[in-house]
Amino acid sequence: MIFAKSGDVDFIQKIKNSNLSGFVHSIFHRTFNFQCLEDGELYTVACNEIDNAPNTLVIDVDCFDRMDLKIKDTIYVENQILHIANKLSIHIVNVEQWESKLPLLPNNIERLKDHLAFMKNYIDLHGKSGGIKKAPIFHTSFEKEMSKLLQERTGLLLNDLANNRMTSALQHAESLIGLGSGLTPSGDDFLVGILTILNTNSGFTNKSFCEEVVKKAKSLTNEISYMAIKKASIGKVRESLIQLIHSLINGTEEDLILSLNKVLNIGSSSGTDIALGLVCGLEAKIKAGGRL
């Protein structure tokens, strides 16, 4: 018997309503995912070192290595308790409910521009290379070619977004889906950052662009990466990304460093790739005069 510490408000409500069943999809050191039979989406159970995120429940354990979880283990809810086969029972009594909510960008962007310049320089110095951030050396011709493609395609996407050419921007976004190595390819992580920024204004005008990116991603990348893109397309992202945007808008330089480091530590190069997507999305939005 284990207690949940915090979790996505919609996930918790599904447990309360006993409207959740499925099977274990994938297992990692600090998280495991299960596929919900009711809506087809992936849900994540995370250990206590992971930040809140969409479709995620954070529980009071350090890791999942010793729980004997297996792919296809049955997931079900009974009496508001989430069960994973006969191996794990998760109670939601006194769980802290969390909701993904992005801040709106300010009308006066001078401070934001200063923080953005600082963030770009910090990523250049401390970000992890090998994805969107170019590696200093390449060990194989494949790595060199992959890096070249990422540089070219992200540049084309940024240029089209800045000039509000959304039809060709969609083509370049599609060319990034699934591009790169790792569980969540660098191109996908970059798009998560871009889609996040597109959702940070009150007069959201590019809903159709976001929806089309999701449609393209369905068949072009893996299910875990697809879910991140799907959620980012409607402004639902993990807590550390939201805090980073808050720091960019209202925080001190120290706040920005603290929140940026949390993002940069996500995955291998995933955090850096997402952060660079945020940077490029903000640059495009500023160049477009806020029209994005």
Q: What is the pLDDT of residues 82-101, one digit of tens each?
A: 999 999 999 999 999 999 99
Question: Is 77 within a domain?
Answer: yes
Q: Does 191 lie in the same domain as 73?
A: no
Q: Among residues of the chain, what percentage have pLDDT more than 70?
A: 98
Residue found by looking up tokens 């401390």 in the block: 126
Assign 102 a pLDDT band (cuts: 50, 70, 90): very high
Q: Which two tokens stand for residue 117?
A: 């310049």
Contact 18, 78 (CB under 8 A): yes
- Mean per-residue pLDDT for 46-66? 95
Contact 197, 109 (CB under 8 A): no
Number of helices followed by number of strands (H, E) in the chain: 10, 9
Q: Does 160 lie in the same domain as 24?
A: no
Q: Does 72 lie in the same domain as 11?
A: yes
- Mean per-residue pLDDT for 147-159? 96
* Res. 277: pLDDT tops 80: yes
Q: Does 181 lie in the same domain as 90?
A: no
Q: Does 195 lie in the same domain as 130?
A: yes
Indicate the number of domains in the chain.
2
Q: Which two tokens stand for residue 273?
A: 């790739």
75, 98, 121: which is the final residue of a domain?
A: 98
- pLDDT attached to residue 154: 97
* Res. 203: pLDDT tops 60: no
Question: Is 219 within a domain?
Answer: yes
What domain range is 39 assigned to?
A: 2-98
Q: Output the pTM of the full model.
A: 0.95
Give the amino acid at 170: L
Taking the C-alpha atoms of residue 174 and residue 162, their distance in angstroms, rounded to an integer, is 17
- Mean per-residue pLDDT for 133-154? 93
Q: Does 156 lie in the same domain as 40?
A: no
Q: Does 120 lie in the same domain as 94?
A: no
Q: Among residues of the chain, what percentage have pLDDT more than 90?
A: 86
Question: Is 244 within a domain?
Answer: yes
Q: Does 114 lie in the same domain as 59?
A: no
Closest by CA position to 148, among listed 121, 186, 103: 186
Q: Does 16 lie in the same domain as 117?
A: no
Q: Does 233 lie in the same domain as 208?
A: yes
Contact 169, 161 (CB under 8 A): yes
Q: Does 146 lie in the same domain as 58?
A: no
Assign 155 a pLDDT band (cuts: 50, 70, 90): very high
